[in-house]
Structure 1
Amino acid sequence: MTAWSEIDVEAASVPELLSARIAQLIDSGRVEAGSKLPSERALVTMLGASRISIRHALQDLELRGYLTRKPRAGRIVAPLEMRALAEGSIFGSMSSDQRTVREVMDLRTVVEPPIAERAAVRHRTSELHALRTPLETSERELGNRPPSLQVMQLCDVQFHLAIAGLAHNSMLTRLVTETNEWMAPSRQASFQTEQRMQRSVDAHRSIYHAIAERDPVRARKAMHDHLADVLEAITPLAH
């Protein structure tokens, strides 16, 4: 368990960073293949991160072939062969320079508006808290001077992943998880000013209300407009 203490609290609070740190522990052999991972609850206590951050990081590692699940054993570190298979998949085989920001945003523009549309139709009212929580957290954070870029980025990731969850399609959730990871380098640029942060929160609020009110047409349009606005903000990085 000593290897887990090497993960700093700051990294543990952001799913992308936490996923990268755990992958490093596995790649270095500090956490060996076949090792059983601590439970999500235990990792929350050990790392001081939210359960949502832990869960998203572990889902990403499963998608990339680092982790697998066994009945009654939970998550375990997968053998190296599984990682090789994942790297040969449509996502794993793409190098970071191939995944240009513009291409990823183009993919998100194609995929995420219809996901929001489905979420408006398929969600259960009891599930809306998963969408409302990151929205309200980001709204409160905007009251701080200055707002925390780290908090705003995390809320953005959580909000978009929550929408995918409300669509009740595990494949869509995996796809959004992957594209959000690819967007990590550009997310800072999209929140470069408090004005940009406010625009993002306003867009998220519009998307939330459309989904909560079960208006699929409005949800789809609100998501499309939001992503188009983000692309405009990060255009200097998209070449």
Structure 2
Amino acid sequence: MDTIWRPIKETGHLTEKIVSRIEQIIDESNLIAGSRLPSERDLARLLGVSRPALREAVKTLEAHGRVVVRHGQGVFVNASADEVMRIRLANQEVSMTELYAMRNVLEAPAAGWAANSATDEEIERLRVALEAEEEIRTQPTDYGRLAELDAGFHLMIVEIAKNRFLLQTVGILQEMMAAGMETTLTVPGRLDRSRQDHRAIFEAIRDHDGEAARIACSSHIIGAREAALLRIRGVESPE
């Protein structure tokens, strides 16, 4: 298995070599759909290739359906099952309310599990993600970047919960909701409320308080749903 990490010689057909090697890594490491590959920097270093060359290979893999790139989050293993689920959900014209309800069903318990199982290292990673999100909120508003950080914070919690099928499912829901996330964050008062909610979720996970984490996450998702519906109706938030 160690041979899959040997440096690649940067000679002819480099993109094809990198594509082949990443596919080998996915297959031989038994990575399931939803598994995240190493960061671009780490993967380029491990394979001994430049980051531009790696990006070209990742584009090819994405075009072939082997991986999916979630901006601000990383590169994830894709699978035909994922695509089937996306198509089914899209064809059923799932409403915003239904999507938020599903988030609540999945993510609130995940926050509780994360609080119960989080290691010191995972708590530190979550703290760094939270502070990056809080920092950008103090700057001229870039809603696209905020949406990426928001989604990344929630996905990290699901990762800490250590349930790979849950991670895969939440990732799909996030992709479906990505188009509406910016609208949610533009509702007056929502940015500050979201910041407070994320801080409460983090503190509960840090304190290993599973019930508090579950309640804080559920309250946050319900508030986000209400803000989204207000925006859709063209009504300003009373906050």
TM range (shorter): 0.5 to 0.7
Matched, 1:232 2:223: no
| Structure showing greater Rg | 2
**1:92–1:131 distance in 2 versus 1, CA, 3 Å:** farther
TM superposition shift of 1:182? 1.1
**Residue aligning to 2:75:** 58
Q: How big is the shift at 1:168? A: 1.0
* Unaligned stretches of 5+ residues in structure 2: 1-14, 23-37, 56-68, 234-239
Query: CA 1:86–1:107 in structure 2 vs 1: closer, same or farther (change >3 Å)?
Result: closer
The answer to whether the 8 A contact 1:189-1:234 is kept is yes
For residues 88 and 200 of structure 2, the distance between their equivalents in structure 1, rounded to whole angstroms, comes to: 36
Partner of 1:210: 204
Q: Relative to structure 1, is the Cα distance of residues 108 and 209 closer, same or farther in structure 2, using a 3 angstrom cutoff?
A: same
**Alignment match, 2:113:** 118
Q: Determine the structure 2 residue equivalent to 1:105.
A: 100
8 Å contact kept, 2:110–2:161: yes
Q: Distance in 2 between matches of 1:168 and 1:223?
A: 17
| Kept after mapping to 1: 8 A contact 2:147/2:181 | yes
For the 8 Å contact 1:128–1:212, the answer to whether it is kept is yes
Asked if the contact 1:186–1:237 (Cα under 8 Å) also holds between the matched residues in 2, the reply is: no
Q: Match for residue 172 of structure 2?
A: 178
Q: Partner of 1:183: helix, strand, or coil?
A: helix
| Structure 2 residue 71 is matched with structure 1 residue 87 | no
Which of 30, 33, 36 is 2:20 aligned to? Answer: 36
Partner deviation per Cα, 1:168-215 (whole Å, 9 max, x = no partner): 111111111111111111101111056311111110000000000000
Preserved contact between residue 117 and residue 220 of structure 1 (Cα < 8 Å)? yes
> CA–CA distance in 2 between the matches of 1:140 and 1:44?
31
Which of the numbers 128, 135, 141 marks the counterpart of 1:147?
141
The structure-2 alpha-carbon separation of the partners of 1:35 and 1:161, relative to structure 1 and needing over 3 Å to count, comes to same
Write the distance in 2 (CA, Å) between the matches of 1:112 and 1:170: 13
Aligned-pair CA distance for 1:55: 8.4
Scaled by the length of structure 1, what TM-score is found?
0.66
Structure 1 segments unaligned to the other structure (5+ residues): 1-30, 66-82
Q: Which amino acid aligns with 1:95?
A: A
Aligned identity (percent) is 26
Letter in 2 for 1:58: V
Distance 1:140 1:165 in 2: 23
SS at match of 1:58: strand
> Higher mean Cα deviation, 222-231 or 184-193?
184-193
Q: How many residues align?
A: 181
Structure 2 distance, partners of 1:158, 1:220, is: 18
Q: Who is 1:192 aligned against?
A: 186
Q: TM-score, normalised by structure 2?
A: 0.66
CA spacing shift, 1:149–1:159, aligned 2, 3 Å: same
Structure 1 residue 140 displacement after superposition: 1.1
